[in-house]
Structure 1
Amino acid sequence: MERIVMGIDIGGSHITAALIDLDLKKEVEGTWVRDRVNGRGTINEVMDAWTESIAKVTSAYAGEVSQIHIAMPGPFAYKKGVSLIKNQDKYRSLYGKNIKDMLADRLNINTSAIHFMNDAACFLQGEVFTGSMNGYDHAIGLTLGTGLGTAHYVNGQAKDADFWKMPFNKGIAEDYLSTRWFIKRYFELSGNTIKDVRELVEKYAGTPEFKEVFAEFSQNLAAFLYKFIRKKMPLASVIGGNISNAEQYFLDDTRRNLAEMMGYSFPVRKSLLNEKATLIGAAAAAIL
């Protein structure tokens, strides 16, 4: 079995790629690449950007790379390699196109060398493989950012739980557990417009509205975790994504709120691997 494979994380505005040593469970030094991508670009612009980044990784390594494992946001036909993303602010030009065939053609490799997997599932797979869920045989994962990613790990494999659209409060879960909720709610409370959670922390940490918005978020996150846990009955959970970088303002409260609902303390951990989790999880699929 090939023990050095390429892991790739495709985001709405970036691509991150590296070679992963599956024995050492970490990236091969000097192969890490992160590039901006215009997710609203034409299909050729997007494919050119991805191909260029992949070529950078390949050229940084003397050996051969026989497998490429790509973490991709949904909706996506992962086995076939066809993008089904349409009503989103990214990759609309790829809708209905066979990305696997197009990439293989541009990279001059066989389509059998390219594999796609859901990005939230890859995140959780990476955390189980060598991160904060290592040692657990049954876990759930959340990525909190522009959108809400949810995954469930059982029987040695992580899969997309697809709970972002779960009915929640007056809408769906993603309405309350994403960057857009923070932007909307903070504006309602303070009249101030923010770009994202990072700006909220940098400019307004400690203000009454800041404390209120994070208190509400902690309650929402605990309520969602409670529903998720009741449906899947995992042993632990892990949280990643950009919003998790503000963990000091909500994670302890989330644990406390959840413990009140559950009647006992349930493990809710922050990602150990952060951005590397998704790459490592994608690559780990090579040995599953």
Structure 2
Amino acid sequence: MTRNRVPTIELGGTHVAVAVIDATARAIVDGSYAARSIDSSGSAADLIDSIAASARTLGSDHTGRWAVAVPGPFDFDAGIAQYSGVGKFDSLHGVDLRARLADALDADPASFTFVNDADAFALGEYAAGAARGLSRFCCITLGTGVGSGWVVDGERTDGAAPEGELHLLEFEGRRIEERMSRRAVRAAYARRARCATAVPDVKEIADRARGGDPIASEVLEDAFSFLGRALDGPLARFDADALVVGGTIARSWDLLEPPLSGGLGRTGFPVLRAELGHEAPMIGAAFAADATLLSAQGR
């Protein structure tokens, strides 16, 4: 059993989560998942201590080959953080996270595989979620921003966006996240509804739209339609089989899917709701690490 179990860490902007992934079943081992809040503005020592403390809860009934999903910017091959001016983890800039975690966990530095969190999410959906059986697809996550992963036959690629990152793409003279992100949606609602204070979050704006608020409906429809138009070109250039959509904003699927599909302007093109939620990046990171291990062993 141990040889099929991959210990996995997922580092988010406000949390660190850990789990053991059954690489054969492509699922989290029952009882192994745990998450804790972290302060992304904390010191490097405090952040690494929190990550390591969470990782230790996984015990030793696993391969010891660690899969780590982290946000960019990050040197994934070297294991070195490159955060600077992105509003989180600034203290980790230039830190060799591979070496520091290996030391804290008494592990071999070579046992760590680092994976971009958006790529890991996409690979998780490919391994065990909505993208099962797809050859070429793009997976986006909608929340504080627009994350993106591009997958061909189970391997991540840069797809049809700068460095594989859709948030770097410009459309209609603006970066995508200036129109489609938590910040952008809230700002658009505040502007149209003339909210001076107490601007509602996206979930509340969605609830208001369902309740008949015309401004809320217009704001969301504009944002999701814009996203569809912005993605149409990249998806065509990539020759994608489908678009998979996850993230917190995708919980408002009833409001998101119609204008997004309409913006894409391609009749019958599959727009699929992600199935795995918080499990996706962990399963995807383990999937990538397991494939890396098998390749290194020549199997």
Normalised by the size of structure 2, how large is the TM-score? 0.90
Q: For residue 140 of structure 2, what is the amino acid of its counterpart?
A: L
- Helix, strand or coil for the counterpart of 2:3? coil
Q: RMSD between aligned alpha carbons? A: 1.7
Report the Cα distance in structure 1 between the residues aligned to 2:63 and 2:201, rounded to whole angstroms.
Answer: 37
Report the Cα distance in structure 1 between the residues aligned to 2:239 and 2:125, rounded to whole angstroms.
Answer: 18
Counterpart of 2:256 in structure 1 is: 250
Number of matched residues? Answer: 282
Q: 1:204 to 1:266 in 2, by over 3 A?
A: closer
Counterpart of 1:156 in structure 2 is: 154
1:262-281 equivalences in 2 (<5 Å) = 262=266, 264-281=267-284
Deviation at 1:113, TM superposition (A): 1.1
Counterpart of 1:42 in structure 2 is: 43
Deviation at 1:132, TM superposition (A): 0.4
Counterpart of 2:67 in structure 1 is: 69
> For the Cα contact (< 8 Å) 1:194–1:200, is it kept in 2?
no
Counterpart of 1:233 in structure 2 is: 239
Deviation at 1:244, TM superposition (A): 0.8
1:136 pairs with 134, 137, 150, which one?
A: 134
1:104-253 equivalences in 2 (<5 Å) = 104-159=102-157, 161-192=164-195, 193-194=198-199, 196-202=201-207, 205-206=210-211, 207-253=213-259
- Helix, strand or coil for the counterpart of 1:250? helix
Counterpart of 2:24 in structure 1 is: 23
Counterpart of 2:296 in structure 1 is: none
Deviation at 1:220, TM superposition (A): 1.0
> For the Cα contact (< 8 Å) 1:189–1:209, is it kept in 2?
yes
Report the Cα distance in structure 2 between the residues aligned to 1:150 and 1:19, rounded to whole angstroms.
Answer: 24
Report the Cα distance in structure 2 between the residues aligned to 1:150 and 1:125, rounded to whole angstroms.
Answer: 11
Report the Cα distance in structure 2 between the residues aligned to 1:107 and 1:268, rounded to whole angstroms.
Answer: 41
Q: 1:208 to 1:195 in 2, by over 3 A?
A: closer
Report the Cα distance in structure 2 between the residues aligned to 1:194 and 1:282, rounded to whole angstroms.
Answer: 36
Normalised by the size of structure 1, how large is the TM-score? 0.93
1:81-120 equivalences in 2 (<5 Å) = 81-120=79-118
Report the Cα distance in structure 2 between the residues aligned to 1:231 and 1:151, rounded to whole angstroms.
Answer: 15
Q: For residue 268 of structure 1, what is the amino acid of its counterpart?
A: V
Q: Please give the per-residue CA displacement for 1:139-169, whole angstroms capped at 9, x wherever unaligned.
A: 1110111121111101430245112111122
Q: For residue 11 of structure 1, what is the amino acid of its counterpart?
A: G
1:4 aligns with 2:5: yes
Q: For residue 238 of structure 1, what is the amino acid of its counterpart?
A: V
Report the Cα distance in structure 2 between the residues aligned to 1:168 and 1:33, rounded to whole angstroms.
Answer: 39
Deviation at 1:195, TM superposition (A): 5.4
- Helix, strand or coil for the counterpart of 2:240? coil
Q: For residue 43 of structure 1, what is the amino acid of its counterpart?
A: A
Q: 1:29 to 1:129 in 2, by over 3 A?
A: same
- Helix, strand or coil for the counterpart of 1:2? helix
Report the Cα distance in structure 2 between the residues aligned to 1:208 and 1:127, rounded to whole angstroms.
Answer: 34
Deviation at 1:203, TM superposition (A): 5.6
- Helix, strand or coil for the counterpart of 1:8? strand
Deviation at 1:189, TM superposition (A): 1.1
Report the Cα distance in structure 1 between the residues aligned to 2:203 and 2:64, rounded to whole angstroms.
Answer: 38
Q: For residue 102 of structure 2, what is the amino acid of its counterpart?
A: A
Q: For residue 23 of structure 2, what is the amino acid of its counterpart?
A: L
Deviation at 1:214, TM superposition (A): 1.2
Gaps of 5+ in 1: none
> For the Cα contact (< 8 Å) 1:74–1:118, is it kept in 2?
yes
Q: For residue 198 of structure 1, what is the amino acid of its counterpart?
A: K
Q: What is the percentage of aligned positions where both structures have the same residue?
A: 27
Gaps of 5+ in 2: 159-163, 292-299
